[in-house]
């Protein structure tokens, strides 16, 4: 047994953070399925984003006071900040739909939000297995495939937008939304890459 025990609570804190991000992704799917009610859903997403900020702050504060960590402190910091970035992207998108006064529905945006949710679900599963390091790679590979699916959906959405939409203001609005959805899914892959490195270093 080490003279100074490692602090294992980090895994619990990271799981709490990614669990809240999962809640935010669920709400984002609901928002894009019903843009007529986007203000109420955006408010709920903002509340979750605030919780995630508090989760991230707690982890960073703990890093600043811990002598020994279960995995490299730089990896914990990177995982925390990049997870928080995913939630920030989702909150920004929700807020933009309200600012832009968007209504109706968009099949491709809804598809992209579901892909994002699927990516977050795989992250959540990977983090529950991070402490044991077992089974994490399976979820990482699924996230990589989902990121590729997100890229394809983004390209299809942009092509359709520029070829079919006649209102230039609508083009500006939706292109920003599509870009942010694609960026959030990319960020999930970035987190997965850090997880992959953590598993390699600690196996």
Q: Is 50 exceeded by the pLDDT of residue 4?
A: no
pLDDT digits (tens, 9 = 90+) for 74-118: 999 999 999 999 999 999 999 999 999 998 778 999 999 999 999
d(C-alpha 150, C-alpha 116), whole Å: 8
> With a threshold of 0.85, does the pTM exceed it?
yes
Whole-number pLDDT of residue 52:
97
Residue 1 scores a pLDDT above 50: no
Digit-coded pLDDT (tens) for 22-52: 999 999 999 999 898 899 999 999 999 999 9
In the 8-state DSSP scheme, what is residue 37?
G
Higher pLDDT pick, 33 / 2:
33
Tell me the mean pLDDT in the region 164-181: 94
Cα distances from 167 to residues 22, 63, 93, 171, 200, in angstroms, run 34, 50, 20, 6, 50
Q: What average pLDDT does the chain have?
A: 92
Burial (0-12, 13-18, 19+ Cβ within 10 Å), 186: middle
How far apart (Å, rounded) are the C-alpha atoms in residues 167 and 172? Answer: 9
For residue 141, give both structure tokens: 């590979």
Domains recognised in the chain with CATH numbers: 9-201 (1.20.58.220)
């Amino acid at each position: 047994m080490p003279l100074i025990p490692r602090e294992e609570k980090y895994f619990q804190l990271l799981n709490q953070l990614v669990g809240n991000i999962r809640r935010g992704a669920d709400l984002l799917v609901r928002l894009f399925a019903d843009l007529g009610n986007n203000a109420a859903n955006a408010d709920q997403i903002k509340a979750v984003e605030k919780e995630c900020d508090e989760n991230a702050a707690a982890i960073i504060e703990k890093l600043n006071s811990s002598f020994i960590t279960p995995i490299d402190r730089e990896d914990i910091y990177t995982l925390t900040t990049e997870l928080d970035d995913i939630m920030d992207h989702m909150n920004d998108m929700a807020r933009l739909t309200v600012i832009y006064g968007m209504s109706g529905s968009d099949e491709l945006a809804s598809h992209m939000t579901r892909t994002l949710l699927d990516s977050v679900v795989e992250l959540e599963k990977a983090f529950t297995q991070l402490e044991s390091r077992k089974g994490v790679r399976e979820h990482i590979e699924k996230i990589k495939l989902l990121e590729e699916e997100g890229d394809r959906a983004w390209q299809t959405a942009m092509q359709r937008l520029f070829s079919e939409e006649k209102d230039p203001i609508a083009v500006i609005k939706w292109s920003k939304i599509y870009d942010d959805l694609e960026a959030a899914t990319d960020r999930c892959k970035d987190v997965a890459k850090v997880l992959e490195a953590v598993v390699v270093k600690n196996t």
